[in-house]
Amino acid sequence: MNPRKSDWQNLDLLLKSFAQISSNFIYDLDDKKVAELDVKLIESHLSEAGHDFADVLEHLCDNIIPQLSASRGPRYWGFVTGGATPVATFADWLVSTFDQNLSKDGDSIASEIERQTIRWLCQLFNLPDSFDGLITTGATASNFLGAICARQFAGRRQGINVAQAGMANLSVEVFSATPHASMLKTLGMAGLGYKNLIKVDCLTGSESMDVADLAYRLQVSTAQTKIIIASVGTVTATDFDDLMTINQLAERYDAWVHVDGAFGIFERILEGENLSNGLEDVHSITLDSHKWLNVPYESGVFLTRHLDVLFDSCDVPAPYLAAEGDKPEFMSLGLENSRRFRALPVWMTLLTYGKQGIASWVKRNIDCAKLLADNIAQSPNYELVNDCKLNVVLFRPTCSGLDQQAADEKTTQAMKAINQDGRIFVSPGYWQGKKVIRAAISNWETQIVDIEIGIACLEDIASKL
């Protein structure tokens, strides 16, 4: 028998098993512990002959799935974690079915879908047509592209093609106030070195950049080229940098401005909100679709007004891979040569929900976060340590009379107890030198009832501390 037909003859059975496992997992989320903290993998050696698929499936269902988190659910408030809407989930299933490789054009419509997706994202965030880009694996990959574009830009200013010649003779400095850890990681990966970052002061009581201090540091810098890393929604306080002033300084000092807007960029789609004025004029932008757009991992986006710099940074110098048309191939715009059809879940999400649908869950998340913050502020058992400005709530158990070390220890103890309880999941953070508990609400399904469950959990834990 034809091997292909033989291997696929049980497709209907596979699909039935897939549907059953998927529906059970999704429908059981409300009753499942949000996080599984005590997991155990059964150790075994690789089989020479393999196992019957039915046995593999049984092992998966009995021993693996019960130990997965409910991170796609409405009460997973750690980090900044979106869920995945039904449409995005369905599209992601199809990505594996279609198994397209978006390295080059010429054999399918998939690359055009990604280009259209980028255009739609620019429209969603009110960005001009001068922006272009691609879908990446996440904000880390996008920040890396921002770093190497800035590096290539610096080289151009100094007559060096960094992608070809390296950066041994490059004179460059990087300035930032509150860079995300992924930005520091990518500065190291790009050879710029995160320890070489020039730390700009923050405004008092904020994570926003003090632009007066930035102006001073740019003025006294002896580097031939400057790079500014700005934030649209910092990871802890969700503060926004003053992009209008930063752009003016960048023009004066001929600096590249890269903005990490992984989730804060979604503020732009809410009517009457405009904390990110000036984003339309920066050089490059990072955002995450698998955060507030609520598509499955891995889905980041890199946008730039200087696609030629991105191309020069990533082009593949191989004759057999040369582009045949007038559009740059995606393999020459990013990290991977072989690329998954990651655009499809984003494309179907934008097409199905539209700007209003996406804005509705963003606004609901913000309202839910503020409701949680209000309840914490009124509780005698907890302290709200910073105003809730977007979708992140910073708090800790009441620590009056405790020194810093004791307060931090109590906060750590409380967070562990909250997560062990299983009704919600939160993650740690630091604010103004204090260890805090951080709840970030960015799941399309989160409702007031989930906040009420979370509040009940917090009060139950407080009574046991």
**Displacement of CA 135 from its chain's centroid (Å):** 12
| 401 and 255 assigned to the same domain | no
Query: What's the pLDDT score for residue 323?
Result: 61
Examine residue 166 and state whether it is found in any structural domain, yes or no: yes
How far is the C-alpha of 311 from the C-alpha of 331, rounded, in Å?
A: 9
| 205 and 273 assigned to the same domain | yes
Examine residue 170 and state whether it is found in any structural domain, yes or no: yes
Q: What range defines the domain where residue 9 resides?
A: 3-31+36-67
Examine residue 81 and state whether it is found in any structural domain, yes or no: no
Last residue of a domain, one of 340, 367, 388: 340
- CATH code for the domain of 434: 3.90.1150.170
pLDDT digits (tens, 9 = 90+) for 116-147: 999 999 999 999 999 999 999 999 999 999 99
pLDDT digits (tens, 9 = 90+) for 143-172: 999 999 999 999 999 999 999 999 999 999
pLDDT level of residue 316 (50, 70, 90 thresholds): confident
Residue 183: CB atoms within 10 A of its CB come to 26
| 433 and 288 assigned to the same domain | no
Mean pLDDT of the chain: 95
Split into its structural domains, the chain has a count of: 3
428: left (phi over 0), alpha (psi -120 to 50) or beta: beta
Query: What's the pLDDT score for residue 2?
Result: 56
Q: State the average pLDDT over residues 55-71.
A: 97
Task: Say if residue 1's pLDDT is above 50.
Answer: no
Please answer whether residues 291 and 442 qualify as being in contact, where contact means their C-beta atoms are separated by less than 8 angstroms. yes
| 332 and 364 assigned to the same domain | no
**Regarding predicted confidence, which is higher, 360 or 7?**
360
CA atoms within 13 A on the CB side of 194: 15
Last residue of a domain, one of 310, 340, 370: 340
Examine residue 95 and state whether it is found in any structural domain, yes or no: no
| 179 and 267 assigned to the same domain | yes
| 124 and 227 assigned to the same domain | yes
pLDDT digits (tens, 9 = 90+) for 179-220: 999 999 999 999 999 999 999 999 999 999 999 999 999 999
Query: What's the pLDDT score for residue 305?
Result: 98
Task: Say if residue 29's pLDDT is above 90.
Answer: yes
Examine residue 283 and state whether it is found in any structural domain, yes or no: yes
Examine residue 268 and state whether it is found in any structural domain, yes or no: yes
Listed in sequence order, the residues at least 6 apart from 373 whose beta carbon sits closer than 8 Å to its beta carbon are 384, 387, 388, 393, 395
- CATH code for the domain of 270: 3.40.640.10
Examine residue 84 and state whether it is found in any structural domain, yes or no: no
Last residue of a domain, one of 295, 310, 340: 340
| 403 and 435 assigned to the same domain | yes
Task: Say if residue 3's pLDDT is above 60.
Answer: no
| 42 and 154 assigned to the same domain | no
| 224 and 283 assigned to the same domain | yes
133 three-class SS? strand
Q: What is the DSSP string of 71-115?
A: TTSTTB-SSS-----HHHHHHHHHHHHH---TTSSSS-SHHHHHH
| 385 and 292 assigned to the same domain | no
Tokens for 172, please give them: 């460059």
Tell the residue number behind the tokens 């060096």, with chain if given.
160
How far is the C-alpha of 173 from the C-alpha of 184, rounded, in Å?
A: 14
| 59 and 121 assigned to the same domain | no
CA atoms within 13 A on the CB side of 455: 19
| 61 and 168 assigned to the same domain | no
Examine residue 88 and state whether it is found in any structural domain, yes or no: no
**pTM score above 0.85:** yes
